[in-house]
Amino acid sequence: MKAIVVVAAVALVVVLVVTVAGDCTWSQDITSRSWDESVCPEPYILIGNTTCLYISQWGVVRNWSAAQTYCSVYEGELAVINDCALLGEVWTLTQHVLNLTGNFWVGGSDAEAEGSWVWERTVKSVPMGVPFWLPGHPDGDTHENKLMIADNGYFTDGNQTEEHYFICQDFSTLGSITG
Ligand SMILES: *[C@@H]1O[C@H](CO)[C@@H](O)[C@H](O)[C@H]1NC(C)=O
Ligand SMILES: *[C@@H]1O[C@H](CO)[C@@H](O)[C@H](O)[C@H]1NC(C)=O
Ligand SMILES: *[C@@H]1O[C@H](CO)[C@@H](O)[C@H](O)[C@H]1NC(C)=O
Ligand SMILES: *[C@@H]1O[C@H](CO)[C@@H](O)[C@H](O)[C@H]1NC(C)=O
């Protein structure tokens, strides 16, 4: 479970990424910083100063409910990503440090009421529109009721039966900040 942290640490030495996650720009030199392992319980790492996240590793994909189950094994849930800077940092980490090109399930859903996106944990609204979503999205109607961070850095709606990477969050340590 330490592997993801080690990989990130090794990559930090060699990778300079100045990039954009959708419209949530994350333009810091990521060689100059590290992901803190000391604050969050294993296997979570501190990302964006406030949030304990675990990102699924290469080749580990699950449908939405199986991803939620995976997170619960580590006493977490699919992540709540409410902040543009955090979205930018997560996307930079997944796509450009860990090189996990693909979509990532997070904890949002509109299964209860079509078009009304909420975080399953908090039942609070998922941010809508720019800069989180591309104009015209979500676009999947009742066939796509679960939230992903797409490989273009924006939120997108996905069919819960699809298997994707996923992001778990530990709420026990820093939950009061982000929940
Ligand atoms: C984390 O804190 C640093 C220093 O205060 C700040 O520059 C950076 O924007 C923060 N990162 C996020 C993702 O909020
Ligand atoms: C990710 O890809 C970049 C550029 O292709 C490479 O420099 C880096 O070593 C890769 N990182 C990992 C963890 O494979
Ligand atoms: C998507 O989900 C619906 C149920 O919500 C299901 O009937 C359908 O087969 C799934 N797959 C696609 C590709 O729409
Ligand atoms: C999700 O994956 C699990 C494990 O492979 C499977 O048992 C379950 O039927 C799947 N559920 C959906 C909705 O695809």
Tell me the pTM. Answer: 0.82
* pLDDT computed for residue 34 by the predictor: 63
* pLDDT computed for residue 28 by the predictor: 54
Cβ 5 under 6 angstroms from ligand 2: no
100 Cα–ligand 2 center, Å: 10
Could you give all domains of the chain from N- to C-terminal order, each with its CATH number?
A: 3-178 (3.10.100.10)
107 Cα–ligand 4 center, Å: 17
Residue 141, by phi and psi: left (phi above 0), alpha (psi -120 to 50) or beta? left
Q: Are strands 165-170 and 77-78 parallel, antiparallel or unpaired?
A: antiparallel
Rg (CA), the chain: 15
* pLDDT computed for residue 1 by the predictor: 41
Which residue matches tokens 């509109």?
110
* pLDDT computed for residue 176 by the predictor: 46
* Ligand 1 atom with least separation from CA of 88: 13
* CA–CA separation, 93 and 132 (whole Å): 17
pLDDT in tens, the chain (179 residues): 444 444 444 344 333 444 455 667 655 555 555 667 778 999 998 887 789 999 998 889 999 999 999 999 999 999 999 988 889 888 888 887 788 989 999 999 999 999 999 999 999 999 999 889 988 889 888 899 999 999 889 999 999 999 999 999 999 886 544 44
